Amino acid sequence: MPRFFQPQQWGFVYLFQGTTDQHQQGLIVFGDFVLTFQSLIQHVDVDTVFGEITEYSYQYYKEKLTDVLPALGTHFPMTENELKKMFGSIPLSIFREHRWKEDLITLGIVPAEFVNQVSEGKVKYDWPAQVNKLLVEGNFDLILSIGQVVPHEVVGMANYNKNIFVGTGGQEGINK
């Protein structure tokens, strides 16, 4: 079973089996690259930061890094020009589009009673824990989730589980 490590200021979530020197195939998932918080945009060139960290990861893992999945939830996919500008030397052939209407797997259902309890009675409904099937069926022994831990206008905080369950999830899990 994969293990999750807590992110620090720059949130990296490592999901893996085995030791780091045993990696055979890896995937990078990165979070929103378009942020609506003007103060953050003024202080951080988000495109450059995500792109550079992803590119460094690609240079380190080389051919073992087989896929990059922009975790954009229900946003429009990135264009070829956007990918080239943001990620430089990473081959376009390893980028995967998150097709949030077709490529989902439901890992389980969070019961309404638990959702009600942790939301302190504000909401009460079952919540589907959905992710892009590539995360489950891709046969990866390493998944890097790259992004910044910042306030998010919908889910509270960006990165960590947000990259996985919202960024690679479907409409029901995102909009409910």
Q: Which of 150, 140, 144, 137 is nearest to 164 (CA)?
A: 144
Q: Is the pTM higher than 0.75?
A: no
Angle CA 52–55–59, to nearest 5:
135
- Residue-wise pLDDT for 72-123, tens only, equals 888 888 899 988 988 888 999 999 999 999 999 999 999 999 999 999 999 9
- Residue-wise pLDDT for 48-70, tens only, equals 577 888 888 888 888 888 888 88
Strand, coil or helix: what is 166? helix
- Residue-wise pLDDT for 33-48, tens only, equals 433 333 333 334 455 5
- Residue-wise pLDDT for 118-139, tens only, equals 999 999 999 999 999 998 888 8
Q: Which of 14, 5, 12, 55 is nearest to 140 (CA)?
A: 14
Longest CA–CA span in the chain (Å) reads 49
Cα first-last separation, the chain = 28
pLDDT of residue 165: 86
The answer to whether 150 and 7 have CB atoms below 8 angstroms apart is: no
What is the distance between the alpha carbons of residues 76 and 97, in angstroms, rounded to a whole number? 10
Strand, coil or helix: what is 64? helix
